Structure formats: structure tokens, C-alpha cells
Amino acid sequence: MSRDTAAAQQVAQQAQDLRNRGDDGEGLALTLLRQTTTEVLSPIEAALTLVTLRDLDQHQLADNLIHVYGRDQPDQDVMDIALTLHELGLADDAGAILRAAVG
């Protein structure tokens, strides 16, 4: 779990740093999150990335991650991340990712 947390924290921090760069930072941060969470990280790591974004007060990035992940990932991955988010106490985010997956 500590390796999962470290990877999630690193991705979230990189996204925050990119977002703070200026004009194109938001787009770069979203690209990083989209590619990393859907192609590299496991659903658990993606959930921990979302938690870390919330902890960093990067709510817009977290919300965008929910929509991208829910829309683009296979159903099983979406269910896995939703379960993890629910277990971590983020029931609203778990529901939001499920809603993104179905509509």
C-alpha cells in the first residue's frame, strides 16, 4: 500500500505543479492525469491520486479525473476505483465516477 500511496502522491504533486505553471498548466495537468491514471496506475493508485488531489485542494483536477476515468476506463476498473473511494470515505466521489461511467 505504501508503494501505491507514493505513486499517487507523486502524480498528484506533478499535476498540481503543472496546473500552477500558468496559461497552459491546466491542460498539461489534465493530460498527465488522463494518461497516467488510465495507462500506468492501477485503480487503487488512481483512487489514491484522487484522494491526494482532494487533500491538496485541487478539487477541479479531482473532478476532471473523475469524469475522464469514469468515461474512459473499462467497467471493472471503474467499479474497483469506486469501491476503493467508498472504502476511503469518499462516497460522493465514488458515486460521481459511477455516474460518469454510465452517462
pLDDT of residue 103: 85
Task: List, for residues 40-75, the tens digit of each pLDDT value.
Answer: 999 999 999 999 999 999 999 999 999 999 999 999
Residue 17's closest CA among 61, 51, 50? 61
In a 13 Å sphere around the CA of 72, the CA atoms on its Cβ side amount to: 14
pTM listed for this prediction: 0.90
The single residue listed with the C-alpha cell 485542494 is 57
